[in-house]
Amino acid sequence: MKNRSSVTEFVLLGLSSLPEHQMLLFVVFIFLYMASLAGNILIVLTVMTSHNLHTPMYFLLINLSLINLLSSSVSIPKLLHNLLEGRKTIDFAGCIAQIYLFTWTLGSEALVLAAMAFDRYVAVCHPLHYTLIIRKEVWVGLIVGVWTAGLANSAVHTGLVLQLSFCGSNIINHFFCELLPVVQLSCSDTSLNEALTFLSDAVFGLGSCVVTLTSYCFILRTILKIRSREGKKKAFSTCSSHLIVVSLYYSTAVYSYIHPSAAHSLDRDKAIAVLYSVITPALNPIVYSLRNKEVKEALTKLIKRLEL
């Protein structure tokens, strides 16, 4: 690593260079981080302690919460440290670790949302065959596949970054080490990195998006065929929470990674990154606890038990 690069640390410009903004940003981000930790841990505990929620959909929800916990923990603690200390540096190894972990969570989240959409498709469109299609070995295989594919994707990208040389500027116009901003600093040929990043975006981003949208097209068609108003409401309520979470994820992450290079604005990309790396992990537990009746009831019981 040292032989291939003269850069031993990077400078993160962060979200603002104005001194008077640093403490405000610290307060805002520590609040969001605490909300993300508390909300996602509560979701995990709620599903694990409630036998009514021991279904494939809610075990996928546990994995989404674990991904959100890891995603927010990759970027926010270092950001808080830099805001508090007034230093905006990160060493080379720490930067590589952030790239590896965040790329892992980003790809895994896309896949787990697609798996959840497929689960809702089977539940709404083929309810009588649900237990036959979504057998234990199927959803366990989905979960293992999600984490393994995300891990392999991240390992490839991080390995390629380690092959690059960094001998020029070490200033990253971001608040953490994300893959593309770091690759753009290299003085090596990055064509392979960029090609594989595009391929990864297509497979993980567009691929999972197509699966999700296709699932919801079939779900919507099935719901419209239901004659009773109560039946339509019940069918839609099983999907509404996931649909909101999917909208939050794809409206930010896909925009950030798949858009024309001419439309690049580093400041705008940083703002979008705040949405999908900080705000979305904090909002997801709120969406599931407020929009999902089963989760809400189980969460209320858990809180009452904790109070006792």
Q: For 63-95, write each residue's pLDDT tens digit.
A: 999 999 999 999 899 889 888 887 788 999 999
Q: Is residue 132 assigned to a domain?
A: yes
Read off φ and ψ for residue 168, nearest 5 degrees: -115, -125
Q: Is residue 3 assigned to a domain?
A: no
Q: Is residue 2 assigned to a domain?
A: no
Tally of domains in the chain: 1
Q: Is residue 243 assigned to a domain?
A: yes
Range of the domain at 101: 9-307
Percent of the chain with pLDDT over 90: 26
Q: Is residue 1 assigned to a domain?
A: no
Cα 110 to Cα 105: distance, rounded to the nearest angstrom: 9
pLDDT in tens, 133-171: 888 888 889 899 999 999 999 999 999 999 988 887 888
- pLDDT greater than 80 at residue 280: yes
Q: Is residue 274 assigned to a domain?
A: yes
Q: Is residue 81 assigned to a domain?
A: yes
Encoded tokens for 16: 């603002």
State the alpha helices, DSSP H only, in the chain: 19-49, 56-85, 92-125, 130-133, 136-162, 179-183, 191-200, 207-225, 229-257, 266-274, 280-291, 293-307
CATH number for position 27? 1.20.1070.10
Residue at 302: amino acid letter: L
pLDDT at residue 213, as a whole number: 87
2: pLDDT confidence band, cut at 50, 70 and 90?
A: very low
Q: Is residue 170 assigned to a domain?
A: yes
